[in-house]
Amino acid sequence: MPSQKILIVEDEKNLRSVLAAILEAEGFSTIQTERAEEALAVMARDIPVLVLTDQRLPGMSGTELLRHIKERWPEIPVLIATAYGEIEQAVQAIKAGAEHYLTKPVDEGELVAVIRQALSRRGYTIPPHRQDLPRHGIIGESLGTFEMLEMIDLIAPAASSVLITGESGTGKELVARALHIASPRAQAPFIAFNCGAIPLDLVESEIFGYEKGAFTGALRTQAGKLEMVGAGTLFLDEVGDMPLPMQVKLLRALQEREYTRLGGHQPLRLAARIIAATHVDLAKAVEEGSFREDLYYRLNVIPLHIPPLRERREDIAPLVRHFLRRVCAAVGRPEMDIEAPALATISAYSWPGNIRQLENIVERLVVLNRSGTILTTDLPNEMRIAETERALPAGGTYGLHAVEREAVVSALNKTHFNQSQAAILLGISRKQLRTRMKNLGLIGDHEDLLGGEKE
Ligand SMILES: Nc1ncnc2c1ncn2[C@@H]1O[C@H](COP(=O)(O)OP(=O)(O)OP(=O)(O)O)[C@@H](O)[C@H]1O
Ligand SMILES: [Mg+2]
């Protein structure tokens, strides 16, 4: 199926290529023009499914272009982007039949959502996009989480072993379950087995099962986890705690895809997919001799690392809201709000216990709350102290410097390095922004890359 063409009319070169990149990443193809007159000429021979135009253009304006398009191709949806504050223009555009108006700096999510809506209303099949990946209960908006969801989508159908690594509380088990649910094994069982939580001498019989009389107390034949799980997924949690003799047996079973119950002779087929997880550094355990190297490679066919929460802070706010909603529902209280400074403090904290810790703290905040809103003063002390230290280290200006740097970098990222737009976001002039970028060492070698755009 040829991809649907979207015509972009934007005179600012950087912004035009950013918009094109966003839409192309969503599976559309783009035609780009600088001016409205040129756009009309292009449309006379190559009809797009949708037009996205800037309002302020040299020559014919976006609204005038819109009127021309509506006369000749009334069915083509037109989106107009207006500068911040140009409400009057936006109203004019809507009156003239614009599908929607967007305020600059254009929000990527809004842009994509509006385009998809406009096209689906007109009966087009829309290319699937990354935010449509099934989430399997995994909340988060960070790049790290999107990459993880894509990875789950990619590797779920395979039978290869997966080794999930990550600090405790990062969501290893949740991801293992997601891999199972998204796989063709979803109808078969998922069994989680914690290798560290069972007495050493029982691990073997728990996993492989045993025959009646295999050892004292084996009064009847008992199936092991591998047998119970069948063609499902066996999740071996804390695999680093698996005793060495058991490691040998597991390796053999994985190589031969066969095993026997303890005390038994009849070979049973190993049909399950094995997903292992560890919060310790297994490579180091291999070096130290407490974990077998051959088993490590056998389990680590597909490595999947889950970053700690402090490395994907964009996930914190959505997770807080998710847990607030869930805990409030569970304890039968109306949904609670959280004040912005409290959310900022929570987002800045280091979260050594990751998502599990966040979940527990939200639960505590809800249960102890009287006012219906979570305030900064409700937060545990260690979090408030950490926040103060971060912003104002003893006796130095480095903290403020860091805060300023973070604000500037985040504004630049949000606007795809458009300095004029970043300045608007920060509420300063473009000249002030450039002075600050220089002071912060953000411009220098890259000056040419970042410069060259119009005021
Ligand atoms: N991205 C996420 N979205 C929603 N809930 C999450 C997410 N990640 C983790 N959780 C929740 O956080 C808790 C901890 O996750 P999980 O048990 O999967 O972590 P873990 O890495 O296995 O932790 P541990 O090392 O302590 O065993 C669970 O209640 C899980 O549902
Ligand atoms: Mg776990």
Contacts for 192 with CB less than 8 Å, ≥ 6 apart: 173, 176, 235, 237
| Residue to mutate, 146, 174, 354, ligand 1, most ligand atoms under 8 Å from C-beta | 174
Averaged pLDDT of the chain: 86
Q: 66-118: per-residue pLDDT in tens?
A: 999 999 999 999 999 988 677 778 888 888 899 888 888 787 777 887 888 78
- Calculate what percentage of the chain has a pLDDT beyond 70: 89
Ligand nearest, relative to CA of residue 171 = 1
What is the length of the chain? 455
Given a cut of 90, whether residue 158 has pLDDT beyond it is yes
- Minimal CA–CA distance to 19: which of 53, 60, 62? 53
Claim: this prediction has a pTM higher than 0.75: no
Question: Ligand 2 is a single-atom ion; what residues have CB below 5 A from it?
Answer: 173
Ligand 1 contact, 174 CB (< 6 A):
yes
Average pLDDT over residues 247-276: 96
All structural domains of the chain with their residue ranges: 5-128, 143-305, 310-391, 398-450
Residue ranges in 265-379 assigned as alpha helix (H): 282-288, 293-299, 316-331, 340-348, 354-368
* Ligand 1 neighbourhood includes 359 CB (under 6 angstroms): yes
Q: Would the CATH topology of 143-305 be identical to that of 398-450?
A: no
The DSSP string of 50-112 is EEEEESS-SSS-HHHHHHHHHHH-TTS-EEEEE-TT-HHHHHHHHHTT-SEEEESSPPHHHHH
Residue 173 alpha carbon to ligand 1 centre in Å: 6
User: Which numbered atom of ligand 1 lies nearest the CA of 358?
Assistant: 12
pLDDT at 452 over 70: no
For domain 5-128, the CATH architecture is: 3-Layer(aba) Sandwich (3.40)
Higher-confidence residue: 270 or 118? 270
Does the beta carbon of 346 sit less than 6 angstroms from any atom of ligand 1? no
Residue 129 has pLDDT above 60, yes or no: no
pLDDT, one tens digit per residue, over 173-182 is 999 999 999 9
Instruction: Kindly indicate the confidence band of residue 403, based on its pLDDT and cuts at 50, 70 and 90.
Output: low
Q: Which atom belonging to ligand 1 lies closest to the Cα atom of 355? A: 12
pLDDT at 131 over 60: no
**Spacing, Cα 276 to ligand 2 middle (Å):** 10
CATH code 1.10.10.60 for 398-450 = yes
- Ligand 1 closest atom vs CA 173: 18
Which pLDDT does position 374 carry in this prediction? 95
| Of 129 and 448, more confident | 129
Tokens of 85: 């504050």
240 lines ligand 1 (CB under 6 A): no
What's the 148 CA to ligand 1 centre distance in angstroms? 14
Determine the average pLDDT of the residues in 310-322. Answer: 90
What is the torsion angle, in degrees rounded to the nearest 10, for the CA atoms of residue 182, residue 186, residue 191 and residue 195?
-30
Tell me if 192 CB under 6 Å of ligand 1. no
Supply the CATH classification number for the domain 143-305.
3.40.50.300
CATH class of 310-391: mainly alpha
Cβ contact 77:118 at 8 Å: yes
